[in-house]
Amino acid sequence: MAMTLNGPFTIQVLTAFIREELGKAGFSKAVLGLSGGLDSSVCAALAARALGPKNVLALLMPYGENFSADMEDAREAARAFRIRSLVVDIAPMVDAYFAALPAGRVRIGNKMARERMSILYDISAREKALVLGTSNKTELLIGYGTIHGDTACAFNPLGDLYKTQVRQLAAELGVPEKIRTKPPTAGLWAGQTDEGELGLTYAELDKILYALVDERESRADVIARGFKKKTVDMIIARIKASEFKRQMPPIAKISTRTIGHDFLYPYDWGK
């Protein structure tokens, strides 16, 4: 399986992408949410290389004192890449909201992701910077992210890398070992891990996704490779159910020329 990447070349592509996307839009600075996890650390390292550390601002947005170990990792990553960082505690806003409208942990988790998005966009305006996305291909494909939350960004350098590949790049980029080896978590509630919640390891999930998506294999062929039918079906169902998170919402067409249907301009228009 060609899941293994040439590290230096991949880094060359992604740093060029970051530099060009910002440059074409007339920006030189980027902000990103740094959670202390693998994806945001890799993204921060790439941005520091692409733009110079001074042009990258990491926002650390803990919920009160929860996940303080992750915050410590985020600080360490910011130090390792010599990027600037700013801490904004989201507990006061989130608590105020749910004091008025109590909810379960999924709604709270999604609200927290959107609170962070809202802060990122606000600070990006203050800093004259663009928001870097940190969602990887694995989570984008299975919809393991909050719409208008952690998936919101100006552009995303990691969206075509599976989690397994992000991990490879992390080593190449000098991401601190502690961050590379701890279990991935969305940090929505205490004790949550991605692999626990999904019911399978990223290694297995990525192999199945790679076969289905990159190699365009059929369900039957993937199962024939020895993966469990139940697992493959669960993944296919998740891909289908989350398509709405990967697209702009449909517009009802009534005119002769409609945005998204036949009003078709490139994103990089004039750039």
Partner 1 sequence: MRPDPSLCYVGGVKIALAQIAPVLGDVRKNLELHLKIIDRARKEKADLVVFPELSLTGYKLRDLVETVALDPDAAREFRVLKTLSRDIGLVLGFVEERPSEKGMFYNSAAFLAGGRILHVHRKVFLPTFGLFEEQRFFAPGRNFRTFATPWGKMGLMICRDFFHLSPHYLLFAGGAETTLTISAAPGRGLSEEEGFASSRMWELMGESMGRFAQAFVIYCNRVGFEDGVAFAGGSFVYTPMGESAGRAAYLEPDLLVREIDLRDVRKARKAWPFKRDDKPEVTLAALERIVHGYDA
Instruction: Read off the tokens for 150.
Output: 């952690």
Interface size with partner 1, residues (CB under 8 A): 23
Shortest CB 258 distance to partner 1, Å:
12
Helix (H, G, I), strand (E, B), or coil: what is residue 110?
A: helix
Q: Does 263 bind partner 1 (CB under 8 A)?
A: yes
Question: Is residue 181 part of the contact set for partner 1 (CB under 8 A)?
Answer: no
**Distance of closest approach, residue 255 Cβ to partner 1, in angstroms:** 15
Q: Does 266 sit near partner 1 (CB under 8 A)?
A: yes
Question: Binders of partner 1 among 1-30, rule CB under 8 A?
Answer: 2, 4-6, 8-10, 12-13, 16-17, 20-21
Among 102, 226, 250, 270, which residue interacts with partner 1 (rule: CB under 8 A)?
A: 270
Examine residue 255 and tell whether it contacts partner 1 (CB under 8 A). no
Q: Annotate 235-264 with b (16+ C-beta within 10 A) or e (fewer).
A: beebbeebeebeeeeeeeeeeeeeeeeeee
CB of 135: closest distance to partner 1 in angstroms? Answer: 14
As a whole number of angstroms, the distance between CA 83 and CA 40 comes to: 13
Closest CA to 11 of 184, 207, 153, 174: 174
Determine, following the binding rule CB under 8 A, whether residue 126 of this chain makes contact with partner 1: no
Q: CB of 98 within 8 A of CB of 11?
A: no
Name which position in 65, 190, 220, 267 contacts partner 1 (CB under 8 A). 267
51 near partner 1, judged by CB under 8 A: no
Q: Which residues are CB-neighbours of 124 under 8 A, at least 6 positions away?
A: 31, 130, 131, 154
The correct pick among 93, 155, 188, 242 for binding partner 1 (CB under 8 A) is: 155
User: Does residue 35 come out as left (phi exceeding 0), alpha (psi in the -120 to 50 range) or beta?
Assistant: alpha
Sign of the alpha-carbon dihedral angle for 10, 154, 240, 228: positive
Residues that bind partner 1 (CB under 8 A): 2, 4-6, 8-10, 12-13, 16-17, 20-21, 155, 263-271
